[in-house]
Structure formats: C-alpha cells, structure tokens
Chains A and B, each alone.
Chain A
Amino acid sequence: MKWCKQIRSVGLVMAMVVLLTTPAWAAVEIQFWHAMGGELGEHTEKIANDFNATQSEFKVVPVYKGNYTETMTAAIAAFRAGQQPHIVQVLEVGTATMMAAKGAVYPIEDVMHDHGFTLDKQGFLPAVISYYQTPEGKLLSMPFNSSTPVMWYNKDAFAKAGITKVPETWDEVEAAAKKLVAAGYDSGLSFGWQSWVMIENFSSWHNLAMGTRENGFAGLDTRFTFNNPGVKNMLARIAGWHQDKLFQYGGRRGDSLPMFINEKCAMWLNSSAYYGGIKKQAKFAFGQAMLPYEPELIDSPQNSIIGGATLWTLKGREKKDYKGVAMFMNYLTSPEVQAWWHQETGYVPITKAAWELSKKQGFYNDNPGTDTAIKQLNLNTPTPNSRGVRFGNFVQVRDIINDELEALWNGSKTAADAMDDAVEKSNKLLEKFEKANK
C-alpha cells in the first residue's frame, strides 16, 4: 500500500518536527478553558501564572473561550472531536447537563484522591457546595467562582435625591426610584442576568419553588412552576414602571453595567462579582445592600442562591496530566488564593478558611458592604426551595426566560402570558432531557 507508506512517512516527519520544536524540559501543559473576561480574566490568569511559578512540572494554560454558554458548548463540541481541555469552567446551571454526561467527566473527588490529595468537603461553605453535590453527596466539580446577586446602589445619587434609607422592600425601591427620576436621573432601577436575579433568586429569597421535585434536586422528572402569582405580580409591577422610567432594561448578562457606571440608573441588581469592575470604573461612592423583598410573600427573606461556576475535569487526556490538574485545584482552593480572589473580585470565598482569613485581614471592616453576598447566602438554613436549582438543559431555559422577559419589557406580552409561555416552552426541554437521560 503506497499511500499507507506515505502517511507513515508524513507522520514520522511530523513527529520529528514536534520533537525538535519541543524542548525536552518543557512542562506538561494543562489546558484550562474559562469564561472570565475583562478584570476577572486578568485575575484568573494571575492565579494560573502564580501556580506555574510554584513548580516546574506542569504549566496551566488559561484560555478565554467567550461567555459561559460559549465556553460550555465549545468544550462539549471539543469533546466530541476528541480535542477537549483538561479543565473547563461551567456555569452553575450547566451542572445538571454535565452530571448527565457521565462518560466525559472525571469527578473532582476522584481526581484528588487518585493523586494523593485530600478534599475537605466540610471546609466549603454549605451554600456553595450543596449546589454542586450529587444526591449521594459526591462532589463532581471544583467550586471556583461563586457569587450571589445583591443590590448595587449609587450613594451620591441617593444623597442628591434625598433618599436616606437604603430600600429593603420593593415598595421602598419604587419610592426611591421615583425620587431618583424626580431628581433628574434617567432611570431608577435596572438589572442583569434577569433569569438568575429576578426569577431564580426571587424565588429562593421568598421561599417559592421554581420547579417541582425540590427544584430538580430530587429527580429528573421535575417540571417548572415559576409561573406562580408571586413571580407574575412582581414582574407585572416592574414592567409597569417602564413608562415612568423607574425601571429601564439594559440587556442580558452584564450588558447593563455601563448604565450603572454612567449613572443612568442608581440601583442595579446583579452579581456581587461586579465589585472589582465597579470599583475600578465608578466615579461615585457606591454601596451594596441585600436584595429587596416583598412583605406580602414572606415576613423576612429566606436566603439567596449562588451563581457562578465550577471547574470540571474532562476525561480522555493523558493519565499523567491529571496529577497537574489535582495540584492546580489544590492550589486554587487554598485559603490565601481564595481570600485574594474574593477580595479582588467580589465573588464569595468558597471555603470557611478563606472567609476567616478575610475577616482576620480586616477586609470587611475596611470595605463595608463587601460581606453582603455571604450574609445573604447564610441568612437562613436553606429550604428545598432555596438550596439551588438543578434542571436539565437549563442553559437553554435561561435563554427562553430571557426572550419572554424581553417580550414583557417591550410591551408585547403581559407578565402572566410571558411566564406561562416560558414555563410551557421550558418544560418541553425538561421532558426532552428526562427522556434522553433515563
């Protein structure tokens, strides 16, 4: 076979090229795909570089792959093609999807134990780790960046508008927004990551179920129920604010951040992890407070749930590489690294040790309000409604919710219709997922 020989000789030449261009002392590269852009990306790279400096055996190569959805789908596509990275960052709502991909995932507990590291699960914050454990309590991926939505507010604007008390209830938010608009601000309130903030966290904050079967934790046969009157009434109310500019929609994810930075809105509900970005860009005094609640639904708020992402290890790379993965994970979760990450970015410290360290360093005294997120998460013992959510295809469900909410904000649908349609469409995806993973 002539062509066979040719292929072999081409292969030989290529192997020689690789041998010649790769110095013998080169460290083993660990591919790490992440979704941390901007400030967060710089911080992620610093962690990887610092880790690389501690040893010479492995080299973690962080690669920015776009937003969360893009990163996750890129990794899945890469896995199908046999080109997967060692580590991929997957957002919290991708957990159910990743758990279902059993053949692709190397559970982090096994990664650590196989390479002689211990994994102290008791040391993690319960609100963080419980979101990611299997029903049997196994941890499949390593928590990395976890945040929760808070209310960011512009202190200067509040002073100018004569708002003396930071709003705690939605009534107070409305009153404050009216004062802000009267004082000449473009709008009062805006928010981003609307499915996460206004539906998932609104539900847990008021101890409302988002779906059946303990929000999906108890089984695949879960269905959504977030089209309840509590959610509908709140959304209808906010949509009604649109006309008077009390509320203005500024896009998905963090697209509305410039509105807050440029003082086009003075209250902004979004992740605590915007701390680093706001601190760097805002030219006004800002603060963070707990999410507003609706006294008609609950006497005092329950607890909020986390968002953010974990690091998943994918199978199929060379066996020796995974020692490097374990070493990197071990470094990443050390109190020093986590405390630094928490204080720079506004993500919550994922371990108790990192929280203690931040306290000891006096971070919360020097920066009042930075412990809002962690207080919200630990406000009460989580109920089945406020432990988190675990739904299959939830990344896609969030897009459906985004679509329906946008239709609500631009007035083409009522809150009731938007939520009923969202539940109907999303339940189809849940059925699909249940069927595919039985």
Chain B
Amino acid sequence: MKTEFIFLENYYALFQDPDYRSSFFKTMVFSFFTTLISMGSALILAARVDRVIKYRTVYRTFLIWPYAVAPVVAGALWMFMFDPTLGIVAYYLQFAGVDWNHRMDGNHAMILIILAASWKQISYNFLFFIAGMQAIPRSLIEAAAMDGAGPFRRFWTIVFPLLSPTTFFLLVVNMVYAFFDTFGIVHAVTKGGPAQATQILVYKVFNDGFIGLDLGGSAAQSVILMAIVIGFTVIQFKYIERRVVY
C-alpha cells in the first residue's frame, strides 16, 4: 500500500465538494430536531410522572426501558414499522393519504431517522429531568400553590428555571449524541440514502472511508467533525451558562 504526502489537499477537496456542504446542512437539521423532540417530550413526560403518586416506579421503569435498546436495534424497529411495503405505520398512513416511502423520498427518510434517534434518547433525558425535579424543594411549589398558582404557572416559573442546569447539561449531551452516536440508526434505517438525503456528517465519514475507500478524505472529515463538536461545547459553556440559574 503506497502513501503520498499531499498536505492540506484533502481539506481543500472537501470544501470544494457540494455533497459535503449539503451534508453539513442535513446534520444541522437532524441534530436540531432530534434534540428538540427528545428533550421536549422527555420534559413533558417527566413533569407528568412527577405529579403521579400511584405506580410512579412502574411508569419510570417503562419510560427508562428504551435506553437499554442498542441504536441499531432501535433503528431496525422503526424501519420495520415504517417499511413502505410491510410496515404497520406505513399501512395506516395510507389511510391518512400519506404515501410513505422513505426509500425514495428524502424528507420521509429524514423524518424517520429523527424519530428513531429521538425516541432512543428520550429515556436518558427523562431520567435526568425527573432527578432534577425531585431535587427541587417541595416547599417552593407548595408555597406557590397556596398563593394560587396553577400547575402550568408553577411549572414555568418555578420548576423550569430551577431545572436549567439539567437542561443545559442535557443540551450538550444531546447535541453530541446527535452528531456522533446516531451512526447505528442511520446505518440500519437509511444507509444515508435516498440520494444522500440522510447523509449526516458522521455517516459520511464512514461511507467515504469504508465504502468509498477514500481514507484521506474520511480522516479529514473526522478532524472537522471533532472541531465542530468542540466548538459547540465551548460556545454552550461560554454563552449559555451565563444565563443558567444554579
């Protein structure tokens, strides 16, 4: 196997490549919605479970369960449910007038991997949110209740601000998750297709390196990917942390 030193040519080629630029955009869309959906629904679920008195542990156990599912298995699960020919969800979608085909329609494919990736992460977020909520002193909430604040107002003015350290931590973790750990899901569900519609950065690293055998380009991409995640974390700690109430 011969090697040749080409200095920064791999990076240069990468930024000339329109596919790589569009992969950037897709990754942004994917990680934004994955983070939003998984954190949003985890927060709602945690707030609901926090108010449940009976069978709380049962709910909790069931909600934490999906976290034990491996990403590839999670992906396969969603793939079967949404299979255009065999899937049960695809079958019902037909009655709603949606002709589901994630093998052809790039938006369908993107929706599918966002759903699968978020579902997988909800448990983890749920766990932290519920722990965070339990750390909030009961007396604060009870005092507000006595002053006549309804459950919704209590949540927004007391629970949510006091949860901000947890929310902030989860934001970082979820972004990193969407950037790095979702490879298995993409690989099982769409393999980056159709027409590269779900070719997120981490999948492109694999595809170019191990399928395309362009090891130099793939290595350059992983360096950039690492820089992005470091950058994200720095920004988050620098600017968002200031507004966090501890």
What is the interface of chain A, defined by CB distance below 8 A to chain B? 69-70, 73, 76-77, 80, 248-252, 255, 258-259, 262, 264, 395-396, 399, 402-404, 406-407, 409-410, 412
A residues in contact with B103, CB < 8 Å: 249-252, 255
Shortest B83–chain A CB gap in Å is 8
Contact assessment for A80 and B195 in the assembled complex, using a CB-CB cutoff below 8 Å: no
- Please tell me which one of the listed residues A255, A259, A396 contacts residue B211 in the complex, with CB atoms under 8 A apart: A396
B residues in contact with A403, CB < 8 Å: 193-196
- Please tell me which one of the listed residues A69, A262, A406 contacts residue B195 in the complex, with CB atoms under 8 A apart: A406
Chain B contact residues: helix, strand, loop or mixed: loop
| Bound: A321/B84 CA distance, A | 47
Whether A407 contacts B211 in the complex (CB less than 8 A), given A250-B84, A259-B85, comes out as no
B residues in contact with A250, CB < 8 Å: 84-85, 103
| Bound: A249/B104 CA distance, A | 7
| Bound: A73/B214 CA distance, A | 11
Closest residue of chain A to B193, judged by CB?
A: A406
Shortest B182–chain A CB gap in Å is 19
| Bound: A436/B106 CA distance, A | 34
| Bound: A171/B105 CA distance, A | 27
Whether A80 contacts B86 in the complex (CB less than 8 A), given A407-B195, A409-B104, A410-B194, comes out as no
Tell which of B84, B85, B210 has the most Cβ of chain A within 10 Å: B85
Contact assessment for B193 and A252 in the assembled complex, using a CB-CB cutoff below 8 Å: yes
B190-221 to A contact mask, C-beta < 8 Å, 1/0: 01011110000000000000111100000000
| Bound: A47/B84 CA distance, A | 35
A residues in contact with B212, CB < 8 Å: 396, 399
Chain A contact residues: helix, strand, loop or mixed: helix
| Bound: A412/B1 CA distance, A | 40
Interface residues on B, range: 10 to 19
B residues in contact with A264, CB < 8 Å: 85
Shortest A320–chain B CB gap in Å is 26
Shortest A83–chain B CB gap in Å is 14
B residues in contact with A412, CB < 8 Å: 106, 195
| Bound: A396/B106 CA distance, A | 20
Shortest A103–chain B CB gap in Å is 8
B residues in contact with A396, CB < 8 Å: 211-213
30 A-B pairs whose Cβ atoms sit less than 8 Å apart in the complex: A70-B211, A73-B211, A77-B210, A80-B1, A248-B101, A249-B101, A250-B84, A250-B103, A251-B103, A251-B194, A252-B193, A255-B103, A258-B83, A258-B86, A259-B85, A264-B85, A395-B211, A396-B212, A396-B213, A399-B211, A402-B193, A403-B193, A403-B195, A403-B196, A404-B195, A406-B104, A406-B193, A406-B194, A410-B105, A410-B194
A residues in contact with B193, CB < 8 Å: 252, 402-403, 406
Contact assessment for A73 and B210 in the assembled complex, using a CB-CB cutoff below 8 Å: yes
- Please tell me which one of the listed residues A73, A249, A251, A406 contacts residue B213 in the complex, with CB atoms under 8 A apart: A73
B residues in contact with A395, CB < 8 Å: 211
| Bound: A190/B211 CA distance, A | 26
A residues in contact with B213, CB < 8 Å: 73, 76, 396
B72-110 to A contact mask, C-beta < 8 Å, 1/0: 000000000001111000000000000001011110000
B residues in contact with A249, CB < 8 Å: 101, 103-104
Contact assessment for B211 and A262 in the assembled complex, using a CB-CB cutoff below 8 Å: no
A residues in contact with B191, CB < 8 Å: 252
| Bound: A396/B19 CA distance, A | 14
| Bound: A69/B213 CA distance, A | 11
| Bound: A220/B191 CA distance, A | 30
